[in-house]
Amino acid sequence: MIQSVCILGRQPALGLAELESLYGVAAVVPIGSHAAGLMLDIQDVDFARLGGSTRQATVVGEVPGTSWKQVEKGLLAFAKSTAFALPTSGKFHLGLSAYGFDVSPAKLNALGLTLKKVLRARHDGSVRLVPNNETELGTAQVIHHDLVKENGTELLIIAAGDKTYIAKTTSVQDIASYTTRDRERPKRDARVGMLPPKLAQIIINLAAGPAHDGQLTILDPFCGTGVVLQEALLMGYDAYGTDLEPRMIAYTTENLQWLSTTYNLPPTTYNLETGDATTHHWNFPNIHHPPSTIQQPTFTIHIACETYLGRPFTERPSSAILAQTVTEVNLILKRFLQNIRPQLAPHARLCLAVPCWFDGREQKHLPLLAQLSGLGFERVEFEHAAAPSLIYHREGQRVGRELVTLVAV
C-alpha cells in the first residue's frame, strides 16, 4: 500500500533510479511521469539526501476515478472531515498542486476557493488561498507561504491510473541551501565543470545503494572542486578525493573547510591527495578520524564521481573533432577502470557521470559502455528507469552526463 509520495524533478528517471537504489524496487511505484509512490512512511525516507525529488508528501486519502468532478467531490468531503487538521486560530494558508490532469489553473483556483469557504467554517481565523498561475505550485511558493508548517498545507492531487491520490506535502527541497552550496563556496572553476549539488546527491545515492552496515567511504577519483565530496559529508559519509591537478586539491580543501564551518559539521572524516586516476594507488581506508572515534569499523568503499567529460562544445563540432574527443575520453576512462578494478573488493559499487554527446537528434555514447564485463564490472539495471533515460542534460547542451551505475564482479 502506498503511504507516501515523492514528486520527481525535471528529469524524472533520475529520481526514480535514485529511490529504487536506496529503498529497493518493491518499495517504489511510478505514478505517471510526475511522481513516485512509496510503500514507506515519510519517517522512513531521508528526504534531505534526495537530489531527484522536489517534494515529499504523505498520502491522506484516495478518490475513485480521475475525472475532475470526482476529484472535486472527494476533496470537499476531505476538507469537511476531521482528517484535515487545522490550527485552532490564526491565519491559515492553503495551496493546491495537480499532477497528471488536463486541467487549467483557473479550474484549480476555483476548487481552491470552494475549499477555502469550507475551511473558514471550521477555522477560527482567516484562510488564504495561494493562487495558481500553473497547475503546480513552485517550490519557492511552497516555502514562501509556509505550506509545510503548522499554519499551512499544500494538497497534492495526483492522478494514478483508475484512482487519484490526495497527499499532504511534508517537505520540499531546500533551494536556499542548494544555492549556498553551489554559489557561495570559496573556490569554483567553470573550466572543470559546474556539477550541481542535486546531481551530486543523485550520483552518491546511486553509488551507495541500499542501506548497509559499517562505515561507508565515498571515493571521488576526479574530485575537481569537491562537490561530490561535500555532499557525501553532508550525508554523513566519509570522503576520499583525488585529482590529477594539485590546484584542484587545494580548491577542494578550502571548500570542505568552508563547508564544515558553514554547516557546523562534526569533526569531518575525509582525505585528499593528488593522483592520476589512471595510475593512482588508493590507500583504503586512509581516512583521518577524530581520536575519540577510532575503533575498528567495517569500511566499505563506493565510488561516486563525475569523470573527465572531454572538451566542452558550445557549437556543433565537426565529425572529426567529435570522434577524436570520444576516443580520448574513452581511453582515459578505460584506463581508470582497469586501474581501479584490482583495488576494489568484489561487489563494490560505482556511479560514474560520463559524457554523452548530442549531435542533432542523435546521441553518441562511450564505446566502453559495451565492454564493461571485460573490464570486471557489471552495469546495474533499474526496473523503473531504463539506462538510456539516465542522462542529465539541458536543452541546447552539446554534452550531457550519463549516469552509469556499476558493480565490481
> In whole angstroms, how far apart are CA 365 and each of 99, 118, 234, 398?
33, 56, 32, 12
Cell numbers that stand for 212 in this block: 548497509
* Cα 36 from Cα 14, distance rounded (Å): 12
Residue 187 clears pLDDT 90, i.e. is over it: yes
pLDDT band at 296 (very low <50, low <70, confident <90, very high): very low
Q: What is the pLDDT of residue 210?
A: 85
Residue 291 clears pLDDT 90, i.e. is over it: no
pLDDT band at 299 (very low <50, low <70, confident <90, very high): low
Q: Name the CA radius of gyration of the chain, rounded.
A: 23
- In this structure, the number of other CB atoms found within 10 A of the CB of residue 253 comes to 15
- The model's pLDDT over 57-107, given as tens digits with 9 standing for 90+, comes to 999 999 999 999 999 999 999 999 988 988 888 899 999 999 999 999 999
Q: What is the pLDDT of residue 213?
A: 52
pLDDT band at 297 (very low <50, low <70, confident <90, very high): very low
Q: What is the pLDDT of residue 212?
A: 56
- Of 49, 348, 306, the closest CA to residue 192 belongs to 306
Residue 191 clears pLDDT 80, i.e. is over it: no
* Cα 357 from Cα 359, distance rounded (Å): 6
- List, in order, residues 6 or more apart from 202 with CB less than 8 Å away: 14, 15, 17, 18, 51, 52, 403
Element (H, E) at 354: strand 349-359
Q: Given phi > 0 = left and psi -120 to 50 = alpha, else beta, which region is 323?
A: alpha
Q: What is the pLDDT of residue 298?
A: 47
Burial 304-320 (b: 16+ CB within 10 A, else e): bbbbbbbeebeeebeee
Q: What is the pLDDT of residue 286?
A: 52
- CB distance 232 to 268 below 8 Å: no
Q: At what angle do helices 175-183 and 227-234 cross, to 10 degrees?
A: 140
* Cα 14 from Cα 208, distance rounded (Å): 15
pLDDT band at 406 (very low <50, low <70, confident <90, very high): very high
> Residue 285 has what DSSP assignment?
S
Cell numbers that stand for 11 in this block: 528529469
- CB distance 71 to 64 below 8 Å: no
**For the chain, which residues make up each domain, given as ranges?**
4-173, 177-408
Please provide the average confidence, as pLDDT, over all residues in the chain: 92
Amino acid 344 reads L
Q: What is the pLDDT of residue 130?
A: 97
- The model's pLDDT over 342-372, given as tens digits with 9 standing for 90+, comes to 999 899 999 999 999 998 778 999 999 999 9
Query: Is it true that domain 4-173 has CATH number 1.10.287?
Result: no
Strand partners, 243: 274
> Bigger pLDDT: 164 or 294?
164
Residues 299-324, mean pLDDT to the nearest whole number: 91
Residue 175 clears pLDDT 90, i.e. is over it: yes
Residue 155 clears pLDDT 80, i.e. is over it: yes
pLDDT band at 385 (very low <50, low <70, confident <90, very high): very high
> In whole angstroms, how far apart are CA 266 and each of 236, 237, 263, 291?
10, 12, 9, 13
Look up the CATH number of domain 177-408.
Answer: 3.40.50.150
Q: At what angle do helices 12-23 and 197-208 cross, to 10 degrees?
A: 40
Residues 42-66, mean pLDDT to the nearest whole number: 96
Residues 198-202, mean pLDDT to the nearest whole number: 98
Residues 30-44, mean pLDDT to the nearest whole number: 94
Residues 375-389, mean pLDDT to the nearest whole number: 96
Q: What is the pLDDT of residue 309?
A: 95
